[in-house]
Amino acid sequence: MRTKKSSIEITAFDLQRLRKLVEETPHEKKRGIDYVAMLQSELDRARVLDSQAISSEVVTMNSTVVLHDLDNGEEETYTLVYPENANAGQGKISILAPIGTAMLGYKVGDVFEWEVPAGIRRLRVDKILYQPEATGNYRL
C-alpha cells in the first residue's frame, strides 16, 4: 500500500504537458486550496519514464481506472483528463480536481488519499481499463 509520501510514476510526455498546464493556469484558491500548486507538488515528486517504458498498471493521463473506496466499499470508474475535456457526468475527471491530482502516477493495488471537507478519502486503484501507452498511443 502506497500513500502520498512515496514517488509516483509519470511519462515524460505527460510531464511536459502538465508542466505547461501549471505554468499557464492561474493559481486560484478554491475553499482555501491551490489545486495548481498541489499538481506541481505531485510533479515534483514524480519518477519520469519514457512512454514506452511505463507499466500498463500505472495511472497516466487519459487512463480509465476503477477505484475502490476503502471507507464505504463502493467502486468508482473515472477517466483522468486535461481540464478542457472534463465532464463529471461522463466520469471524466480533470487533473486539476483533487481526485485527479491524487490518482496520477499510482499503480494497480496502490492506495492513495486526499482531503475533502468531510475528512480524508482513501481509494485503492483496482483496475486500469484503458491506458493510452499500453495500446501504443504515446501522444494522447
Structural domains in the chain plus CATH codes: 8-135 (3.10.50.30)
d(CA 38, CA 49): 21
Q: What is the pLDDT of residue 116?
A: 75
Q: What is the pLDDT of residue 1?
A: 40
- pLDDT tens, N- to C-terminus, the chain (140 residues): 444 557 899 999 999 999 999 998 877 666 556 788 889 999 999 999 999 999 999 999 999 999 999 999 999 999 999 999 999 999 999 999 989 999 999 999 999 988 777 888 899 999 999 999 999 887 76
